[in-house]
Amino acid sequence: MDPFSVQSGEPFVFRGNSDRGVLLIHGFTGSPSYLRHLAAYLNQWGFHVVVMRLAGHGSTPEILAKTTAGDWKHSALEAWNVLKDLAPRRSLMGVSLGGALALHLAAQEGLAVERVVSIAAPIYLKWMQGIGRLLPFIQPFHPYVYKRRLQVANRQELMDLGFYDRIPLAALHALMTFVREEVRPALPAVTAPTMIMHSLGDEKVHPKSAKYIYSHIGASKKELLWLPQATHDPFQGGVNADLYFKILDFLSQSDHLAYVPHAPHSALVPVPA
């Protein structure tokens, strides 16, 4: 599959030529499409890559408003089972809500998760501190919050890729409850080697979230990396070769992967020697 053809909000799979695979999980109100370059880059190095779509995404904000954390967990587990049929050695990588789901999935017994990459997982939301428990009372009067980022010239382009222009407060409340009641308690059970990444300039999730995860996961092998990007999601805005290589390096540690590019992927990003 040509990664440049993955222009919609549909999930997709790149088949690799090794025994390793990775499941990529996008963020809240996001889309699989913005992970296509990373997926193709990892696939260049032989990884089987499954890029899933979370329940309630790729449709409408009204459908997302009716979606629960149970729906997100179910869709993540279904995608994991797809990867299970492709590769015996399987890892997880998620961004924002996807990072929280990756950690929660890695904590489950019997899944044999090899490695975890969590980016900007929302333990502490900057702009929601103090009012999270009020959301059920606010929702009937203000059910949506519009994204300022999409009130720009490329608004329609982003929406065509599967992004939403507004956030359903009901789904946001479900996210916060999921993190507080399920993700935080599960962190000690995450024993797979884990890399935690966070942008110091994250405008949505407080960077202390990364420190919390690092301090509470049960993994003896763990890394905490601060990203220079001044944004919540480092994958939006084009190819990021340095970030891609950091993820590849972590996922393939102790291995010596031969670079065998699959046309037409070879021109995506510079591949380190």
pTM of the model: 0.84
Confidence (pLDDT) at 128: 59
Long-range own/partner contacts, residues 82-87 (CB < 8 A, 24 or more apart): 82/13, 82/50, 82/52, 83/21, 83/22, 83/23, 83/48, 83/50, 86/13, 86/15, 86/16, 86/21, 86/48, 86/50, 87/16, 87/18, 87/19, 87/20, 87/21, 87/47, 87/48
10 Å Cβ neighbour count for 111? 16
- Residue 183 has φ and ψ, to the nearest 5°, of -75, -50
Q: Which two tokens stand for residue 101?
A: 């789901």
Q: Is the pLDDT of residue 3 over 90?
A: no
Instruction: Calculate the dihedral angle through the C-alpha atoms of 91, 34, 225, 126, rounding to the nearest 10 degrees.
Output: -120
Position with higher pLDDT, 171 vs 167: 171
pLDDT at 239 over 70: no
Mind listing the pLDDT tens digit for each residue in 94-138?
999 999 999 999 999 999 999 999 999 999 988 655 555 665 656
Average pLDDT value for residue range 248-253: 93
